[in-house]
A = this chain, B = another copy of it.
Amino acid sequence: MSGDRDRSVELIENAVGRQVPTVVNGQQARPFGGVAEPPPGGAKHGPPIRSAAHYPADGDKRVPDLKTALERCGLKDGMTISTHHHLRNGDQVAVAALQAAADLGVQDLMWFPSASFPCHEPVIDLMERGVVHHIEGSMNGPLGAYCSHGRMSGLGVLRSHGGRWQAIQDGEVHIDVAVIAAPTADAFGNADGSHGPSACGSLGFALADSIYADHVIVVTDHLVPFPCIPWQIQGNNVDCVVEVDSIGDPGKIVSGTTVVTRSPDRLLIAEYVARFLRDAGIMRDGFSFQAGAGGIALAFVGYIRQMMIDAGVKARFVRGGSTSYLVDLLDAGLTDYILDGQTFDLAGVRSIGEDPRHVATSPFTSYNYHGKGNFASMVDAVVLGATEVDLNFNANVVTHSDGMLLHGIGGWQNCLFSGCTILAVPSFRDRIPVIVDEVTTVTGPGELVDVIVTERGIAVNPLRTDLLEALKGSDLPIRPIQEIKAEVETLVGGPPARPRLGDEPVAVIKWVDGTVIDTVWRVPEKSEAQ
């Protein structure tokens, strides 16, 4: 089936000057029009009305296996199957579900994971066989490479966590069958991620799927008598429950422990970030921040923790991905709450399962741009990464400078709405500068990026005169972004080579409102003639 995509697409220039397709996988696509969108209009998707008359009165929705469940849910050619990625690289359910679909002889599915990982590499074979037509969702590793080389039948569509909720809620993506891997569940379909042998913490990424899909299958290796308490997925939305021996490899679902960076440069970046928040007056009683599980972010938490203790300051809430570093803040009384979107290590899983101050959130509460606000804009500061950033602070998180699509967006776009968005990045990687004239793929518009922190200095977006004012008198190395860029280029021998790209779109990057902010272009395979 591979290669049947119509390669002649109509392109249009969007508000950040990028050429984007007007049609994506047969559906009209709107070009990114700027951050301040007009009222979207329209109504949220209404899933089919069901009747309790057609579900077992005793609540027992178990069926023998995934194949039976998919049959009961009426799986047919061309439908969309969704999965979530809370089991990360340990997930065994998504591939099992798609293989069960293959066993049923179904073709041309759209697979709609909240993200995919190297463990999902068998899906390449299913794409080659035409079982899966294309993937909409983050593609980390081999699937990203497959897509980058233009071997997927449809266009890849990358969305942020909030953008995925928005697309489902707004009816842009219709899920026929959602398959939800659940570390704990009851036979009615109530499910949760905080307990069981494959515990992964929050199941928030699967929540939209459970609410809006036509059919919902819960797959668990830890069935408990009704009621499964707490429940994050409600059995009232679930059609079938499948019990399996194992939903995943616990060692790959969560890290035993998450590890702070040891690189002196990166430690310096982390320290700069913490000092920046302190000196700018953002670190004050009742403040909030979000930091993920990367090495720099973890080191940052260590620095800010000490500064909070020294200043006698307590946070109102911190946001994860949660790790032992955030749990330590909670246990030490340095924050009232952890608002957790996903749970990265064993300390996080233990805490979310035991401590009512460690609260599971969903992309609806945290990120969905088509709600009546969301939590992301209420966070005082967020510490993020990037693969590239340009002189206008536009940033890239999905492609490398060689054009290869190797990363997902995660909550990155959504977090840009925080009070102070900080990209904490080394000034170069593998002798390739991070600050460039033009990013390969615009993932976030520069007007939302406030600060770039590198080991060579800190660049503040000139739009943020308030931050520049607040930092007067600080001994932090605040420098124009152009100056840092020039210094790095001198050091590594010039700006990075522009990637050699084809002129065929292989994927699009959606903005948080469902518009297309950039296109990912085909990267020729090494074997191809020039």
Contact = CB atoms under 8 A, between A and B. Distances in A.
A189 B188 CA distance: 31
B188 A55 contact: no
A251 interface: no
Nearest to A162: B52
Nearest to A316: B225
A374 B234 CA distance: 10
A373 B49 contact: no
Nearest to A370: B49
A288 to B, nearest CB: 9
Interface string A30-64: 00000111011111111111111111111101000
Contacts of A374: 52, 236
A371 interface: yes
Interface string A501-514: 00000000000010
A230 interface: yes
Given A225-B316, A229-B357, A417-B57, A371 B52 contact: yes
A232 B353 CA distance: 19
A513 B52 CA distance: 9
Contact of A377 (B59, B372, B419): B59
A59 B235 CA distance: 31
A372 B50 contact: yes
A228 to B, nearest CB: 10
Interface string A218-242: 0000000111011000111111000
A37 B49 contact: no
Interface in A308-355: 316-317, 337, 339
Interface string A168-194: 011100000000000000001100000
Most chain B beta-carbon neighbours within 10 Å: one of A236, A357, A365, A374: A236
B43 A46 contact: yes
Contacts of A55: 372-373
A286 interface: yes
Contacts of A39: 50-51, 54
Nearest to A371: B236
B45 A40 contact: no
Contact of A47 (B44, B188, B339): B44
A356 interface: yes
Interface in A399-452: 417, 419
A177 to B, nearest CB: 14
A378 interface: yes
Contact of A58 (B46, B50, B370, B377): B377
16 contacts: A36-B53, A43-B48, A49-B169, A51-B369, A51-B370, A52-B377, A56-B373, A57-B377, A61-B372, A188-B373, A188-B378, A226-B317, A227-B359, A235-B372, A235-B373, A236-B365
Closest 10 CB pairs of A and B: A43-B46, A55-B373, A44-B46, A236-B371, A59-B378, A46-B46, A57-B377, A40-B49, A52-B369, A42-B49
Given A44-B48, A55-B373, 19 more contacts: A39-B51, A40-B51, A41-B49, A42-B48, A43-B47, A46-B46, A50-B371, A52-B373, A57-B373, A57-B378, A58-B377, A58-B419, A59-B373, A59-B378, A226-B317, A229-B359, A236-B373, A238-B372, A356-B356
